[in-house]
């Protein structure tokens, strides 16, 4: 049986008032003819702009799977997010690096085309993110029904024994025989 190829267009945006502060992540998903399939503004009580942008992409990928999509055409006005997703910019922030690991895991089943667009071509998710921030709650049309458990989509915890990004292991020393106390000559031993 031949699987069908479902192409969808996604616009994402995220913002934070205060950076960090209250924020929202938003996605608008449509078919290739422009019909809206889903849109959601996801309220975040405390985040940075970049965390909100990353969350928008993560949520869009979750919803795309729910819709049965196979090929995604993603547009974002965050040049940083696009370049980091494509591997053209390094991700220096450990929190964003952990978030990108999750995004890459969620993105694996799809054929993805992602590009940077100017803000004027990304107004719908921007408006939705602002509405969620104003309302201080998530809102949308056909939002994610089956949100994965937080441990499936949240940033992985760093390894307990990592220093400067390198795993360190406990030093194992072979037990040695206890030292015999050396004879300390007394002050009057020679008399």
Please give the mean pLDDT across all residues of the chain.
Answer: 85
Q: Is the dihedral of CA 77, 79, 85, 91 positive or negative?
A: negative
The number of folded domains in the chain is: 1
Check: CB of residue 9 under 8 Å from CB of residue 69.
no
Assigned token pair, 114:
């992602």
Question: 94-139: per-residue pLDDT in tens?
Answer: 999 999 999 999 999 999 999 999 999 999 999 999 999 999 999 9
152 lies in a domain? no
CATH number of domain containing 24: 3.30.420.10
The pLDDT of residue 171 is 59
Domain of residue 45: give its range. 7-141
Taking only the tens place, the pLDDT of each residue in 143-157 is 998 777 765 555 544
Whether the pLDDT of residue 177 is over 70: the answer is no
| pLDDT value of residue 153 | 59
Residues 21-66 have pLDDT tens digits of 999 999 999 999 999 999 999 999 999 999 999 999 999 999 999 9
- pLDDT recorded at residue 146: 79
What three-state secondary structure class fits 30?
Answer: strand
Establish if 150 belongs to a structural domain.
no
Average pLDDT for residues 177-181, to the nearest whole number? 60
- Supply φ then ψ for residue 67, to 5 degrees: -80, -10
Residue 134 lies in a domain: yes
Q: Is residue 189 part of a domain?
A: no
pLDDT greater at residue 103 or residue 166: 103
Find out whether the peptide bond into 188 is cis, omega within 30 degrees of 0.
Answer: no
The answer to whether residue 54 sits within a structural domain is yes
Rounded Cα distance between 62 and 148, Å, is 8
Q: Which among 160, 52, 155, 25 has a CA at the least distance from the CA of 95? A: 155
Contacts of 9 (CB under 8 A, 6+ apart): 29, 30, 31, 32, 34, 73, 75
pLDDT at 75: 98
pLDDT at position 191 is 52
More confident residue, 183 or 128: 128
Query: Per the domain annotation, does 175 fall within a domain?
Result: no
Residue 65 lies in a domain: yes
The helix, strand and coil proportions of the chain, stated in percent and rounded to the nearest 5, come to 30, 25, 40
Q: Is 122 a member of any domain?
A: yes
pLDDT at 178: 60
């Amino acid at each position: 049986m031949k699987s069908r190829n479902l192409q969808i267009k996604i616009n994402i945006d995220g913002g934070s008032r205060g950076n960090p502060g209250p924020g929202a992540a938003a996605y608008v998903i449509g078919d290739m003819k422009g019909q809206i399939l889903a849109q959601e503004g996801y309220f975040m009580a405390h985040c940075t702009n970049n965390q909100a942008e990353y969350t928008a992409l993560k949520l869009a990928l979750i919803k795309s799977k729910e819709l049965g999509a196979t090929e995604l055409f993603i547009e974002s006005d965050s040049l940083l997010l696009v370049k980091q997703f494509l591997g053209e910019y390094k991700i220096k922030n450990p929190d964003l690096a952990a978030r990108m690991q999750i995004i890459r895991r969620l993105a694996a089943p799809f054929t993805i085309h992602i590009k940077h667009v100017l803000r004027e071509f990304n107004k719908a998710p921007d408006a939705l993110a602002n509405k969620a921030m104003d309302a201080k709650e998530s809102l949308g049309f056909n939002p994610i029904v089956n949100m994965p458990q937080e441990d499936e989509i949240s940033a992985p915890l760093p390894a307990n024994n990592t220093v400067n990004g390198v795993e360190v292991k406990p030093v194992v020393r072979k037990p040695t025989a206890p030292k015999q106390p050396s004879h300390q000559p007394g002050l009057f031993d020679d008399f």
